Amino acid sequence: SQKIEQNSEALNIQEGKTATLTCNYTNYSPAYLQWYRQDPGRGPVFLLLIRENEKEKRKERLKVTFDTTLKQSLFHITASQPADSATYLCALAPSGGYNKLIFGAGTRLAVHP
């Protein structure tokens, strides 16, 4: 069956450290993968998109990698801050279709001062 999995346990890290979140998928051939941030009571907000032919993307303190052999994406936040505390969702767009995103359940990140 098709699955997209994120670590369901919350990730607790110290301010200033690098947070790494994992997204694994099975039985999909994604055209691209996206990461979103969601704060309590709010809708998801787009962060980064990486396409199937890209290995790595960066935006300020954010970095995402995409390994289509391992069927995995890693999302990194360097020099993390308490304001980075939120739930992070990965979403993939199956190839051959339009922008019909399949979302993971998200990983909650807590950055402690």
- CB nearer to another protein: pick between 5 and 68: 5
- CB nearer to another protein: pick between 80 and 86: 86
- CB nearer to another protein: pick between 43 and 96: 43
Q: In three state form, how does the secondary structure of 26-90 look?
A: ECCCEEEEEEEEECCCCCCEEEEEEECCCCEEEECCEEEEEECCCCEEEEEECCCCHHHCEEEEE
* 110-to-56, 58, 96, 99 alpha-carbon distances in Å: 24, 22, 36, 30
Shortest Cβ 90–another protein spacing (Å): 9
Shortest Cβ 79–another protein spacing (Å): 25
Shortest Cβ 69–another protein spacing (Å): 23
Return the number of other C-beta atoms located less than 10 Å from residue 87's C-beta: 18
Shortest Cβ 59–another protein spacing (Å): 13
- Residues of this chain that interact with another protein (CB under 8 A) are 4, 8, 32, 34, 41-46, 49, 89, 91, 93, 98-106
